[in-house]
Chains A and B, each alone.
Chain A
Amino acid sequence: MSANNPGFTADAPAMLVPGWARSMAIATRAVFIVLGMAILVQALFVVQARPQDLVTGFHGMVDIVHRSMPPDFSALPDAAWPALETIDIGLFGTIMGIILAVPLSVLAAANVTPSRWLYYVSRAVIGFTRAVPDLVWALLFVTAVGLGPFPGGLALAVHSVGMLGRLFAETIENMDMAPIDALSLTGASRLQVFTHGVVPSVLPALAGIGLYRLDENIRSSLVLGFVGAGGIGFQLLTAMNLFQYRQVSLLLMVVFVIVFAAERLSAVCRERLA
């Protein structure tokens, strides 16, 4: 076949390399494989992995699943309000997060920021809100405003600022500046350049990021219920503590429907924006 094709064949580069270099390449590869395995082994050691316990404990899992069947559909009406609460915590957190993140991201985008000083301050605020997990924010707000959905919404809002602010700022920084320059040269006012050039260019991307965050926030708001921040997560925790496994399985079904619906809805909206 190489007679028909005098050009490069697949093994041609290998033939051009001297023998010792090939041995070196093989040795390097071996070192990387051993290193990778060592990293995996130390992880197994540190998490105290005991597969045998999984086998012996299997009947416990079967027992719980057995006790949670069939789901207790009579609890469905009671789950409706907490479910709505969970969705609304996610909505509140996302909308408040967007309201806070938009001005911050304008300050934190290197190409439009009015001053270096504001740039660093807003970058620091965005970094800090992202670095502190939403569960910790929820605990803080529960101590501040008491149990219920409100601290959950606040926690998601503050934590969302971190992610939204950073992605918004990056979107603004990556914006094509040519249309902006072209508009300012026509003699349009600065505000006109902003509303006719900058806003239409970045709005779809910002809306897409916001919708993605809404999907994440609805999932997070389930977990926040575990620390007392309202919603269906709190209901789930209570049912587990009371060993009401048939109620737990119903609530998990509700959770699944909410998460799946939020994800699909957000994906469909984002597709239409693209």
Chain B
Amino acid sequence: MPDARLSVRGLGLRYPNGTHALRGVDLEVRAGELLIVLGGNGCGKTTLLRCVTRALAPTTGEVWLGGQNLASLNGEQLRRARQALALIGQHAALVRRRSVIANVACGALARHKTIWTNLGGLPSSELPGALTCLGQVGLSDLAERRAGNLSGGQAQRVAIARALLQHPLVLLADEPVASLDPEAANEIMRLLRRLAHDQGLAVLCVLHQVDLAFAYADRVVGMRDGQVAFDRQRAHLAMDDVQSLYTARAA
């Protein structure tokens, strides 16, 4: 398989009380691919993302990104390696009082740890790049708008622009359309697919909407009880596979 940007091997997480949130999860996200993870509530989708970003420390397994195993890193090394991951969540998490362009420029702060940026200044050399990123999400004309005045869909696109300016190897998305109406949700999914196909970004997206997965994914991973239930190209995906994710627990 060519160019796996992120590769998760045997990832497991066991809580101190003995319950297994993840058991031996294997998956790969390749450059230029939109991978969608589906699964019922509590199947471990979000836990998987939290283990990849190391918001949670996995008990077993490896997370390979850019030649480094994130699971074995700590402290400053981890912080630096993690910059190659960008995360967008269910809510855009913008600083509402600042302009759109300022929010996007914050994605580049890690590359500019100067006195000026530590005092709240924006890295001016990054502003053209920030505008380019805004252009990629189709919001160039809103650069000066206050982030708090955007619609949910627009705010989410600004969050994606901020993530792009981070120059990530992998873009992680945790239910990015959960709080959006269907039209805005489709727009965000189209954007994620375009970023993968046109820019060669590796996108790993956790979703609840089966229809969106069928419409936009290149590959779909189904999770159940903290394990990978299937991992298929969309063309080979059947509705029965997906339904089994949501019914097997009851059986």
Interface residue? A220 (CB, 8 A) = no
Q: A178-B91, A186-B166 are in contact. Are A204 and B109 (CB under 8 A)?
A: no
CB distance from A79 to the nearest CB of B (A): 42
Contacts of A191 in B (CB 8 A): 118
User: Which of A181, A186, A195 sits near B119, CB closer than 8 Å?
Assistant: A195
Cα-based distance from A188 to B122 in the complex (angstroms): 12
Is A187's CB within 8 Å of the partner chain B? yes
- Give the shortest distance, in Å, between B86 (CB) and chain A (any CB): 7
Residues of A at the B interface (CB closer than 8 Å) are: 176, 178-179, 181-183, 185-189, 191-192, 195-197, 199-201, 203-204
B145 at the interface (CB under 8 A from A): no
> Which of A189, A191, A192, A200 has the largest count of B CB atoms less than 10 A from its CB?
A192
Is there an interface contact between A182 and B119, defined as CB atoms closer than 8 Å? no
* Interface size counted on chain B using CB atoms at 8 A: 27
Q: Provide the residues of chain A in CB contact with B107, threshold 8 Å.
A: 186
A269 to B83, CA, bound (A): 40
**Do A185 and B119 have beta carbons less than 8 Å apart?**
no
Q: Contact: A183 with B53, CB < 8 Å?
A: no
| Pairs across A and B, CB under 8 Å, 22 listed | A178-B93, A179-B94, A179-B96, A182-B87, A182-B89, A182-B162, A183-B95, A185-B82, A186-B107, A186-B162, A187-B79, A187-B110, A188-B110, A189-B109, A192-B109, A192-B113, A192-B117, A195-B119, A196-B95, A201-B96, A201-B97, A204-B97
Interchain nearest-CB distance for B180 vs A (Å): 16
Residue of B nearest to A203 (CB): B97
Known: A178-B89, A192-B118, A196-B120. A187 touches B80 (CB 8 A): yes
The residue of chain B having its C-beta at the shortest distance from the C-beta of A198 within the complex is B95
Q: Are A189 and B98 in contact (CB under 8 A)?
A: no
Q: Which residues of B contact A204 (CB under 8 A)?
A: 97
Residues of B near A181 (CB, < 8 A) are 93
Q: Which of B83, B91, B97 has the most CB of A within 10 A?
A: B97
**Contact (Cβ within 8 A) B118 A195:** yes
Q: Which residues of B contact A176 (CB under 8 A)?
A: 96
A-B contact count (CB 8 A): 67
Whether A188 pairs with B119 at a CB distance below 8 angstroms is no
User: In the bound complex, do residue B87 and residue A185 qualify as a contact, i.e. CB atoms below 8 Å apart?
Assistant: yes
Asked if B109 contacts A188 (CB within 8 A), the reply is: yes
Do the beta carbons of A200 and B97 come within 8 Å of each other?
yes
A200–B80 CA distance with the chains assembled, in angstroms: 25
Q: In the complex the two chains form, what is the Cα distance from A136 to B97 in whole Å?
A: 40
Interface membership of B192, Cβ < 8 A: no
Chain B interface residues (CB < 8 Å from chain A): 53, 79-80, 82-83, 86-87, 89, 91, 93-98, 106-107, 109-110, 113, 117-120, 159, 162, 166
> Which residue of A is nearest B86, CB measured?
A186
A174 shortest CB reach to chain B, Å: 13
Shortest CB distance B104–A (Å): 11
In the complex, what residue of chain B is closest to A183 when comparing beta carbons?
Answer: B106
Instruction: Kindly state the separation between the CA atoms of A268 and B107 in the bound complex, as whole angstroms.
Output: 35
Q: How far is the CA of A238 from the CA of B80 in the complex (A)?
A: 69
Contacts of B159 on A, CB cut-off 8 Å? 182
- A199 → chain B closest CB, angstroms: 6
B117 closest partner in A (C-beta): A192
| Cβ–Cβ contact B95 & A197, under 8 A | yes
Q: Which chain A residues border B166 with CB–CB below 8 Å? A: 186-187
From A196, which residue of chain B is reached at the shortest CB distance? B106
- In angstroms, Cα B53 to Cα A183, docked, is 14
Chain A residues closer than 8 Å to B118, beta-carbon distance: 189, 191-192, 195
In Å, the complex CA distance between A185 and B86 comes to 8
The answer to whether A182 and B110 touch across the interface, beta carbons within 8 angstroms, is no
Shortest Cβ distance from B14 into chain A, in angstroms? 24
Question: Of residues A178, A187, A192, A199, which shows the largest number of chain B Cβ atoms within 10 Å of its Cβ?
Answer: A187
Nearest opposing residue in chain A for B87, CB measure? A185
Nearest CB in chain B to that of A195: its residue: B120
Give, as a whole number of angstroms, the nearest-CB distance from A35 to chain B.
46
Complex Cα gap A196–B117 (Å): 8
**Contact assessment for B93 and A182 in the assembled complex, using a CB-CB cutoff below 8 Å:** yes
- Write out the residue numbers on chain B whose beta carbons fall within 8 Å of the beta carbon of A187: 79-80, 82-83, 109-110, 166
Specify which chain B residues have a CB less than 8 angstroms from the CB of A183 in the assembled complex: 95, 106, 109
Query: Complex formed: what's the CA distance from A61 to B93 in Å?
Result: 62
Interfacial chain B residues near A200, Cβ < 8 Å: 95, 97-98, 120
| A189 neighbours in B (Cβ, 8 Å) | 109-110, 113, 118
Q: Report the minimal beta-carbon distance from B121 to chain A, rounded to whole angstroms.
A: 8
A256 nearest CB across to chain B (Å) = 36
Residues of A within 8 A of B113 (CB): 189, 192
User: In the complex, A192→B79 CA distance in Å?
Assistant: 14
Bound-complex Cα distance A195 to B113 (A) = 12
**Separation of A188 and B95 alpha carbons in the complex (Å):** 14
Task: Please give 11 more A-B residue pairs, beta carbons under 8 A apart, in addition to A197-B95, A201-B96.
Answer: A182-B89, A186-B83, A187-B82, A187-B109, A191-B118, A195-B120, A196-B95, A196-B106, A199-B120, A200-B120, A201-B95
